[in-house]
Amino acid sequence: MVVLDPGHNGRNGAEPGAIRRQVSDGRGGMKACNTTGTATDAGYPEHAFNFDVATRVQQRLTAAGVQVVLTRPDDDGVGPCVDERGRAGEEADAAAVVSIHADGAAPGAAGFHVAYSAPPLNPAQAGPAQELARVLRDALRDGGFPDSDYIGDDALSPRADLAGLNHATRPTVLVECANMRNADEAALVSSPEGRDRYAAAITDGVLGFLGRKG
């Protein structure tokens, strides 16, 4: 079983009260339930990108015989909150959890990166999540995507502030596929062909991780 977590949701922007509700950040603090995410300069929203890529990964994994659960059923709702997303892997007893996002950085910045919880809060976050991050990073590189030139080292980013990762008790990572504010990457994420390339690479990474665990 694999959990795919498409970041944000289509109606988050319309329900600011709901998404500003404070929830546990998984490290003793609180943070907002969820956020709206970013968008390209032309207005293609991150939540739509995330959901489309997740759906494509789901189709590919299902075809490969892997069961998949999504943390949200469509792109027309609100939430779920980050703490609930973070617990989804345990609820599904998932072998891997991938949260799918795209970033909104300075226009000159580019590339993908994979975030994992650090310092780790449990055994799954210590070894397996970091292995999943490396395998997924390698698959995205193999898919022709460049390492981030603005965050992390070698496209890997240890993070203490991402509640969805902090709450995880199964191997969980968050992929920032591209910088939506970069013109070249905006064109890529806005095209179905580009999204299919991301989905193919993420699928390869997940299957590689499951195989290594095999």
176 is catalytic: yes
Residue placing its CB nearer to Zn ion in the complex, 51 or 209 = 51
| Rounded least distance, CB 2 to Zn ion, Å | 20
The answer to whether 86 touches 167, Cβ cutoff 8 Å, is: yes
131: tokens are 């292995």
Binding stretches for Zn ion (CB under 5 A): 7, 37, 101
Residue with smaller CB distance to Zn ion, 72 or 101: 101
| CA–CA distance, 75 with 80 (Å, rounded to integer) | 11
Q: How far is the CB of 114 from Zn ion (least distance, A)?
A: 13
48 or 118: CB nearest Zn ion: 48
- Which among 136, 130, 135 is positioned nearest to 177, based on CA atoms? 136
Shortest CB 147 distance to Zn ion, Å: 19
Question: Helix (H) and strand (E) counts for the chain?
Answer: 8, 8
Residue nearest to Zn ion (CB): 101
Q: Which of 15, 176, 185, 193 does the annotation list as catalytic? A: 176
Kindly report the CA angle at 10 between 5 and 14, in degrees rounded to 5? 130
Residue whose C-alpha is closest to residue 213's, from 94, 112, 118, 39: 94
Active-site residues, by number, are 176
